[in-house]
Structure 1
Amino acid sequence: MGSAGNEVAELKELVESLRKEVTRLSDEGEIKKLHFKYGYYLDKCLYQEVVDLYADDPGTFVEFIGGRYRKKAGVARLYLERFAPRFVNGRNGPVHGFLLDHAQMQDIIDIRPDGKTACGRFRTLMSAGTHKSVQETHPRGFVQWWEGGVYENEYIKENGIWKIWKLKYFPFWHASFEKGWSNKEIGEFVPFETKTYPENETGPDEVVEQLMLWPDTRVVPFHYTHPVTGEQVKDDDLRAPEWGQDVKDSLPPLTLAETKRP
């Protein structure tokens, strides 16, 4: 009986271990699908569908070009009140002749030990612009551009459903199709936010400290440790000094922590 009892206990332990592993893999798959669906909705300016992917949790926010949009209300302000009027004349959905494709790739997802929150890193490569046939009717005229960036996001499970909790988007670079990325002038970039809501009706709730755009090549910190050494990348190795210059004289490392501009 003792031997049989031990076998039963071992089997129960194995089943529990397998249950946890299956749950983890299922959660990772759901988060991957969630973020890929975010990209597909964003491609076609389905901004209401994008907003509905976000958690109702009061800690929810989006970080975008120097601003943090807090809670579901801030998220809606960014997508429905800023993006929709600028890109698609306020409608929910695409307009003829306007391209805004966000390919989501290189996904790395890690479920936290609590099983209710997770981190995800994704790369995006965007191709965007207007067709020449609409240059007289679309307010952006005739334009075509590229954009590359990295997401370091957090996700939360609400009522059994994974949702976007904290989306942090770092746009690395923008480039016109004609000139490419190496000829991009600093002044041509989308300006960073300096005024908050409600002074800025479609602005963020907070202006954040860390700002970067090409030719700045600092590393967006990794939410995960090295898979072999178990170590985090050193802060100084996340910085990007001028060629031949001391790293201590370069811009400080970026952080995934919540910051505010001084």
Structure 2
Amino acid sequence: MANEIEELKKVVASLQKEVSRLSDQEEVRKLQYKYGYYLDKCLYKEVAELYSDHPDTCVEFLGGRYNGKEGVKRLYIGRFAKSFVAGRNGPVHGFLLDHPQIQGIVDVNPEGTRAKGRFRSMMSAGTHESVKDTHPRGLVQWWEGGIYENEYIKEDGVWKIFRLKYFPFWHAAFDKGWSYTKPNYVPFLSTTYPNDPQGPDELCEHPMLWPDTRVVPFHYEHPVTGNPVADDDLRAPHYGQDPSTGAPPLVLSKPKSEA
């Protein structure tokens, strides 16, 4: 009887651990989805408050890295709000930015304190004809596709975004599509803060935009073989060319405390 009780205790403990893991996965997935809903409506203050206060918190975007909570605010509440909605918190009439967060894969560490997630975003954006003379973007509409490889952290029992790394994989004008997108459609960030008051704290190595098709590295290993993807297979050489002729494979940054 005692042995049976001990076995039942082990089963209950195992089930509790699995329930916690699944609950954490769902909370992280919901966190990323909520990020997308706030971002859709230019609610940049709400977006910034989703981030951790950890000193290694960052956002990587268009070749720049915004460090710490202050860097996060500089990007969203500073750069984005000023560019898209004249500095307000919330949408402006006739301006569209929709960022569905889809295809999410979340993995939580055994301790239930950190997580990593890979998501895809397919964005439709632009202005309505009626505001072409009052919005600084004029009359414009475009598509965008991107990959997130993010890290999350649980602080005081609450999951927060720790390190958001967004790779805008491609852009396309609405009328011509992706085949005619000019290279560097959106210029990479090139000037750091404070020389650019809304710039990143540092620049990232080897940024990418369409027609560059390198693979954004996966935070997880292959689910059957247990192996990572080979570095050469992350490259994107021209058709028929040796992988070594392509740009270097992308590398996911790590927190300074873990480097």
Whether the TM-score (by the shorter chain) exceeds 0.5 is yes
* Matched AA of 1:166: R
Correspondent of 1:221 among 212, 217, 226? 217
Match of 1:211 in 2: 207
Superposed, 1:143-158 pairs within 5 Å as 143-158=140-155
Correspondent of 2:197 among 184, 201, 209? 201
1-structure distance, mates of 2:86, 2:237: 42
Q: Figure out how many residues of one structure are paired with residues of the other and give that number.
A: 255
Is the 2:58–2:67 contact (alpha carbons within 8 Å) kept by the matching residues of 1?
yes
Secondary structure of the residue that 2:100 maps to in structure 1?
strand
**Are 2:135 and 1:142 aligned?**
no
Question: Where in structure 2 are there 5+ consecutive unaligned residues?
Answer: none
Q: Which runs of 4+ in 1 moved over 2 A?
A: none
How high is the TM-score relative to the length of structure 1? 0.96
For residue 215 of structure 1, report the CA deviation from its aligned partner.
Answer: 0.6
Q: CA deviation digits over 1:42-88, x for unaligned, max 9?
A: 00000000000000111100000010000000000000110001100
Is the 2:206–2:248 contact (alpha carbons within 8 Å) kept by the matching residues of 1?
no
Correspondent of 2:59 among 58, 62, 67? 62
1-structure distance, mates of 2:74, 2:216: 26
Q: CA deviation digits over 1:15-42, x for unaligned, max 9?
A: 1100000000000110111000000000
Secondary structure of the residue that 2:104 maps to in structure 1?
strand
Secondary structure of the residue that 1:240 maps to in structure 2?
coil
**Are 2:85 and 1:88 aligned?**
yes
For residue 248 of structure 1, report the CA deviation from its aligned partner.
Answer: 1.1
1:258–1:9 CA distance, 2 compared to 1 (3 A) = closer
Superposed, 1:1-262 pairs within 5 Å as 4-187=1-184, 189-258=185-254
Q: CA deviation digits over 1:208-239, x for unaligned, max 9?
A: 11211111100001000111111111111111
2-structure distance, mates of 1:23, 1:109: 14
Secondary structure of the residue that 2:134 maps to in structure 1?
coil
How high is the TM-score relative to the length of structure 2? 0.97
* Matched AA of 1:225: E
2-structure distance, mates of 1:139, 1:18: 55
* Matched AA of 1:132: E
2-structure distance, mates of 1:217, 1:236: 13
Question: Where in structure 1 are there 5+ consecutive unaligned residues?
Answer: none
2-structure distance, mates of 1:129, 1:77: 23
Secondary structure of the residue that 1:218 maps to in structure 2?
coil
* Matched AA of 2:10: E
